[in-house]
Structure 1
Amino acid sequence: MKEVKIESTLYVYDSLNEIPQDVQHLMEQASIARDKAYAPYSKFSVGAALLLENGEIIYGSNQENASYPSGLCAERTAIYYAGAKCPNQKIVRMAIIAGSRINPTTSPIPPCGACRQAIVEYEVKQKEAIEIYFMGETGKVVKSSSLANLLPLVFDKSVL
């Protein structure tokens, strides 16, 4: 037997004020997207904003449904829209803001497992990492230089 150690490197900023201005702008866009979330059941709203290589910003918010599996997370809403609208544009960066509409959310909220899988699909497709910044409503901001830090053992087309 051989032990394998997997490490991830994340960068944690104490607040939005510490991150670069262009990323602050993208986080603001994610916040605007979050305001458009449809989350009447969970009361947990998420906004995502993607920066494409051509400078365009694509937005997404979570959209719930009374039949829970029929809803869609903000990250996948944005990434699939980017793939449909601008299929030849690489995704440079993703910003995510998430939180409860009932209780304050001050801890950074990373993408769920299904969203991680969707994001890695685009990293593999474009052969370049996607920077990911995520946070709660307020507080610390976490940066991952690639989805591989959040999902180190990826399932992709190479195994099919």
Structure 2
Amino acid sequence: MNEIKIETTLEVYNDFNELSKAMQNLMTAAIEARENAYAPYSKFNVGAAILLDNNEVVIGSNQENACFPSGLCAERTAIFYAGAKYPKAKILKMAITAASQNQITDKPIPPCGACRQSIAEYEMKQDLPIEIYFMGAQGKVIKSHSLANLLPLLFESSVL
């Protein structure tokens, strides 16, 4: 028997103000998208903003539905829209922010597993890492240089 040790390195910023001006702008777009979330059931609003290599910014917010699981997360809303609207563009960065309507959300909230797999698909398709920044409504911001840091041992099309 052998072991596999998986390590990852993430950057932690104490707050939004430590980000570069360009990243603050992208996170602000995610915060604004979060305000448009439709989350009457979970009371958990999420916003995402994506910077493409053509300098377009695409946003998404979570959209819930009484018929679970018919809703869609903010990250997938944004990434699927980017793929539909700008199919040849590469995704450079993604900003994600989440806020509970019931309590203070002051810890970074990473993408869920389904969103990680969807982001991984685009990262593999474009053969270029996607920088991912995520935060709660306030507090620290975490940066991953690639989705692979958040989802090691990726399931990818080469195994199909």
What TM-score do the two structures reach when normalised by structure 1?
Answer: 0.99
Q: Report Cα offsets for 1:101-131 as digits up to 9, x if no partner.
A: 1101000000000000000000000000000
Q: Report Cα offsets for 1:77-120 as digits up to 9, x if no partner.
A: 00000000000000000000002011010000000000000000
Which ranges of structure 1 fall in alignment gaps of 5 or more residues? none
Paired with 1:113 and 1:67, the residues of 2 have a C-alpha distance of 20
Alignment of 1:1-20 (within 5 A): 1-20=1-20
Alignment of 1:6-85 (within 5 A): 6-85=6-85
Q: Report Cα offsets for 1:2-27 as digits up to 9, x if no partner.
A: 11100011000000111111000000
Query: What count of residue pairs does the alignment treat as equivalent?
Result: 160
What's the counterpart of residue 112 of structure 2? 112
Q: How far did 1:154 drift?
A: 0.3
Q: Sequence identity of aligned pairs in percent?
A: 66
1:122 paired to 2:125: no
Which ranges of structure 2 fall in alignment gaps of 5 or more residues? none
Paired with 1:61 and 1:68, the residues of 2 have a C-alpha distance of 17
Paired with 1:107 and 1:75, the residues of 2 have a C-alpha distance of 18
Paired with 2:74 and 2:119, the residues of 1 have a C-alpha distance of 12
Paired with 2:63 and 2:51, the residues of 1 have a C-alpha distance of 21
Paired with 1:146 and 1:98, the residues of 2 have a C-alpha distance of 20
Paired with 2:68 and 2:59, the residues of 1 have a C-alpha distance of 22
CA RMSD of aligned residues (A): 0.4
Counterpart code for 1:105: T
